[in-house]
Amino acid sequence: MDESGSTRVRSRRSHNKSRLGCQNCKRRRVKCDEKKPACGPCVRHSIDCDFILPAAAPSASSTTTRQYRFRRSRYQHETPTESSTASRSGSEARGSGPVSTGTQCDLAASQPPGGISFADLKLYHHYMTTTYKTLADEKGDTHGVWSNHVPRWGISFPSILHLILSLSALHLAAENPDSRAEYLAQADDHFTFGVRSVTAVLALLNSENCQLIYMSAALICLAYFGRGPRIGEYLVFSQSGQSEWLVLLRGVRSILTTNHERIFTGVLTPVPDDSIKEVSPALQTELDRHLSQIQALRSWITLQVSDAAVCEVYAASIEDLRSILKEAYAIRSAGKDGIHLMHLAMGWIYRAREEMIALLEARDPYALVVYAHWSIILRYMQSCWLMRGWDEHVVAGVRALLPVELQGWIEYPLSVVAGGVS
Per residue in 306-321, pLDDT (tens digit) is: 999 999 999 999 999 9
**CB of 47 within 8 A of CB of 68?**
yes
124 shares its domain with 246: yes
Q: Which conformational region is residue 417 in: left (phi greater than 0), alpha (psi within -120 to 50 degrees), or beta?
A: alpha
Total domains in the chain come to: 2
255 shares its domain with 285: no
232 shares its domain with 285: no
259 shares its domain with 298: no
Indicate whether 12 belongs to any domain: no
Of 211, 245, 268, the residue at which a domain comes to its end is 268
CA–CA gap between residue 142 and residue 300 (Å, rounded): 45
Residue 416 has pLDDT above 70, yes or no: yes
Residue 55 has pLDDT above 50, yes or no: no
Indicate whether 33 belongs to any domain: no
**CB of 163 within 8 A of CB of 191?**
yes
Of 247, 268, 289, the residue at which a domain comes to its end is 268
CA–CA gap between residue 305 and residue 358 (Å, rounded): 17
Residue 167's H or E segment, with its range, is helix 158-175
Indicate whether 309 belongs to any domain: yes
Indicate whether 334 belongs to any domain: yes
342 shares its domain with 221: no
Q: What pLDDT score was predicted for residue 137? A: 80
247 shares its domain with 292: no
Question: Helices 118-129 and 158-175 meet at what angle, rounded to 10?
Answer: 80
241 shares its domain with 380: no
Describe the chain by its helix, strand, coil percentages, rounded to 5.
60, 0, 35
263 shares its domain with 287: no
Average pLDDT of the residues in 372-383? 96
285 shares its domain with 322: yes
Give the pLDDT band (50/70/90) at residue 9. low
Indicate whether 3 belongs to any domain: no
Indicate whether 73 belongs to any domain: no
Q: Which domain holds residue 362?
A: 281-419
Backbone angles phi, psi at 237, to 5 degrees: -130, 160
- Tell me if residue 191 falls in helix, strand or coil: helix
133 shares its domain with 234: yes
Residue 149 has pLDDT above 80, yes or no: yes
294 shares its domain with 410: yes
375 shares its domain with 302: yes
Average pLDDT for the chain:
82
Long-range contacts, 302-308 (Cβ 8 Å, 24+): 304/366, 305/366
Model pLDDT for residues 236-291, shown as the tens digit of each residue: 999 887 888 888 888 888 888 889 999 999 999 988 888 899 999 999 999 999 99
**CB of 124 within 8 A of CB of 166?**
no
Over the Cα atoms of the chain, what is R_g?
A: 29
